[in-house]
Amino acid sequence: MLVDIGVPLELGAVEVEPRLSFSEPMRETPHGRQFNHRQLLLDDRPAFELSFWCGTCSFLFERLEGANEKLSLETQQDRLNRGLAAIDQEALNAFGVLLPRGEYVPLLLRLEPRLVYPGDRDDYFSHEQLDTWRVDGFWGLPNYPRTPYYRSLETSVTGGTSRVGESTDAQLYEFAVPMVPPSWNDPARVAHYAQALEQPTPPTAVAISLLDICQPAMLQGPEENYYAHWCLTHFLLDGHHKLQAAAEAGLPVQLLAIVSIDNSLAPRESIDRLKAITSQQYSPWPQKKGDPPE
């Protein structure tokens, strides 16, 4: 659920190298210029493999060896633990130094996260994605994120557009992806935040976020499952214990999502629609089987 949204603004490191960055689309090889892997980097080491640049391949985040550290800022802990009532410029500036220079739109969201493990009944890659793309043509297997992750909002996008701007049916899926797995968290801190989440304004986590729009170039299964997947993915910088506590306690948590306009696989007008879309209620794809999670 949307709590607040800020205007697009420029953030990112200026005089120092950002701790987080994204790979360049093209690389030079002995055979000429070729597409590079699309990756989120931490200290110049690949941390996550991301969806391919084309927008017709299936959506992906896959944890790599470089995702081995949280990026909490001690100077912001009191402010975030009290819970933000609105977009906080001081918090944006502080975490902005970690990011590559570019244009971002900040969202303050209230999430009801569900912890998901690869292959389980709520795993996007084993269910919704397979309904649209089927298994990977080379590996013959579903995509594998190599990490537990959190799911939150799922809702329809009316009048959606594909990566190339064509009108299409669409569904938004929201994910929060930890930089380190929940098994690395301190159980005592998780228990502490489970109590703190009961306050009127729950504690706030922080993430760098991407909106990727993916849709196959051609029908790969039943026609009712051919639609665009709008995947809003929050890579956690701060708040690993808070998200785990919220998932275990069944309580909402807040998230300051700093959405990268430059590095998302979505046209600007689609990112502009996040205000309306994240204000909607849970609404599974009409042909999806089963009941919404409790």
pLDDT in tens, 278-290: 999 898 876 554 4
| pTM over cut 0.95 | no
The pLDDT profile of the chain, 294 residues, written as one tens digit per residue, is: 999 999 999 999 888 899 999 998 877 777 777 778 999 999 999 999 999 999 999 999 999 999 999 999 999 999 999 999 999 999 999 999 999 999 999 999 999 999 999 999 999 999 999 999 988 877 889 999 999 999 999 999 987 554 445 546 899 999 999 999 999 999 999 999 999 999 999 999 999 999 999 999 887 777 888 899 999 999 999 999 999 999 999 999 999 999 999 999 999 999 999 999 999 989 887 655 444 444
pLDDT in tens, 235-253: 999 999 999 999 999 999 9
Q: How far apart are CA 113 and CA 194, in angstroms?
A: 13
